[in-house]
Amino acid sequence: MKPPTELDAPPAPDADALAADPSVENPVAGIDQAVGDFTYDVKYEFDAGSGLNENVIRYISGVKKEADWILDFRLKAYQTFLDKPMPTHWATKDLENINFDKIRYYLAQGQKPKRTWDEVPDDIKKTFERLGIPEQERKFLAGVEAQFDSEAAYSNVKDIVAKQGVIFLNSTEALREHPEIFRKWFGKVIPTGDNKFSALNSAVFSGGSFIYVPPGVKVAMPLQAYFRINAENFGQFERTLIIADEGAEVTYMEGCTAPKFSTSTLHSAVVELVALKGAKIQYITVQNWAPNVFNLVTKRGLAMEDAEIKWIDCNIGSRLTMKYPGVVLKGKRARGEVVSIALANDGQHQDTGAKMIHAADDTSSLIVSKSISVGQGRATYRGVVHIPKHLKGCKNNTECDALLINTNSRTDTYPAIVVRGDTHAVQHEASVSKVSEDMIFYMQQRGLTEAQAMSLAVNGFVNDLVRQFPMEYSVELKRLIDLEMEGSVG
């Protein structure tokens, strides 16, 4: 196993040819994805067709009535996408099963998100009602954006938050209405050429949330986006940029689902966070993709002096997830944190981790990762911690724990920690455990079925992390884990 050579590429261990036996066609387990597994027939007003070429990009940019610089940005990114090889020299060969010619890159019913649910077309409104979004919004959210395939169908921020000067828009609106705020950081935290999929996203991005929180404003309730894939053979490429100005604080949550199609679907987002001096951003993801979704997401934050960025990331579902949220600790005393939970069930590969790039004195970072592999599921942790020689007083603590449920479950850990200099403190702990037969018997002896016992053991394993999620999400998470564990035994 070799450590990665370049920092901006995903951490690269050995060329791993073990994964993705092409003779096995995505052996989808009989898990209950029922919550998200439904579609309504939707008529699309805007459709870029299948496959990708310059015309598709011009079409997307055209219907969005974008400024020239954005079209240029897209076309350059498309070239980068074509030039970049698939990262299969370190990542799974399953990536080769993505057929870029079959994907539909842009599908939208309208261009402007509605500000009230009443205005949202019925079929789309029904979808989000079934997912409980309007209800959550009423209960505990400061603002919601609901994206349906390529565009937001609904976007609204509560008055009280808007009055504080908080901007919460989709990427198209934000770049058009507030270029002075967003252009400065757009594509700066994650450059187009960071990896093949960040380039693809830069070429065809649509939707996502652009948020600006003015200096000193602390948004009390979370802002939420919900990403819904409805169409078959579709690629969703949302783009999110959150800027917390000096001393500002914001929590953002995203949820994702898609129905179970027989063909594969691609979700490839780029999420950039900028926390200016003393600002705090907390970014929470609970994804529950259907088991045929390729989920290839690039997420990174830039933390300035005394700023704090925390990623809380929960990956359930999908066929393959590759995601390594990172923080570049650019200012003194900046703090970065990644807390992640991954559950890989039969036919799924959760390849997740974290990157902490220390670039100033006295910066500190924390990575806590827990993964669960069920059946033939595979969980991989990849991490990069980088502390260069010229810095002083940096700290990192990494902890990754894996839980294997069945004897054929698999977990791999590839931590790459590069620390130079002699004033830093770095700690790494890793563990692999199994749910013991005795523990299951003990619980069964108290009257729980084997499946209930397994669920409880798994929930216990992630319990300390789940508690960091907002209440509504932790309840949801527990329920999702219960569903995933059904049928995992016997």
Partner 1 sequence: MSSTLEIRALHVALASSPDKSIVKGLDLTIRTGEVHAIMGPNGTGKSTLSKAIAGHPDYVITSGDVLLDGKSILEMEPDERARAGLFLAFQYPSEIPGVSIANFLRAAVQARMAEGEELDATAYYKRLYAKMDMLKIDRKFTSRSVNEGFSGGEKKRCEILQMAMLEPTFALMDETDSGLDIDALKIVAEGVNTLKSGSLGVLLITHYQRLLNHIVPDYVHVMYDGRIVKSGDKTLALELEAKGYDWVKTDLAAATA
Both tokens of 450, joined, read 């084997």
Residue 56 or 458 having the CB closest to partner 1: 458
Buried b or exposed e, range 209-244, using 16+ CB within 10 angstroms? bbbbbbeebebebbbbbbbbbbbbebbbbbbbbbbb
Angle at 210 between CA 307 and CA 286, to 5 degrees: 75
459, 468, 483, 487: which one contacts partner 1 (CB under 8 A)? 459
Exposure string over 157-182, b if 16+ CB within 10 A, otherwise e: bbeebeebebbbbbbbbbbeeeeebb
481 binds partner 1 (CB under 8 A): no
Closer Cβ to partner 1, 14 or 464, answer by number = 464
Between 230 and 455, name the residue whose CB sits nearer to partner 1.
Answer: 455
Give the range of 78-86, 102-110, 216-224, 458-466 binding partner 1 by CB under 8 A: 458-466
Two tokens, residue 228: 């819904």
Q: Which two tokens stand for residue 451?
A: 């499946």
Total residues interacting with partner 1, rule: CB under 8 A:
24
**List of residues 6+ apart from 335 with CB closer than 8 A:** 303, 307, 308, 309, 329, 363, 364, 365, 366
Between residue 411 and residue 450, which ones bind partner 1 under the rule CB under 8 A?
A: 436-439, 441-450
Do residues 416 and 3 make contact, with C-beta atoms less than 8 angstroms apart? yes
- Give the shortest CB-106-to-partner 1 separation in angstroms: 44
* Residue with smaller CB distance to partner 1, 49 or 460: 460
456 lies in the binding site for partner 1 (CB under 8 A): yes
13-72: contacts with partner 1 (CB under 8 A): none
**CA 7 to chain CA mean position, Å:** 20
Find where tokens 């380039």 sit: 199
Shortest reach from residue 325's CB to partner 1, in Å: 23
Q: How far is the CB of 488 from partner 1 (least distance, A)?
A: 16
> Does residue number 475 form part of the binding site for partner 1 (CB under 8 A)?
no
* 460 is an interface residue for partner 1 by CB under 8 A: yes
Q: Least separation, in Å, of the C-beta of 438 and partner 1?
A: 5
Amino acid at 354: A
471 part of the interface to partner 1, by CB under 8 A: no
CB of 408 to partner 1, least distance (A): 19
Residue ranges in contact with partner 1 by CB under 8 A: 436-439, 441-450, 452-453, 456-457, 459-464
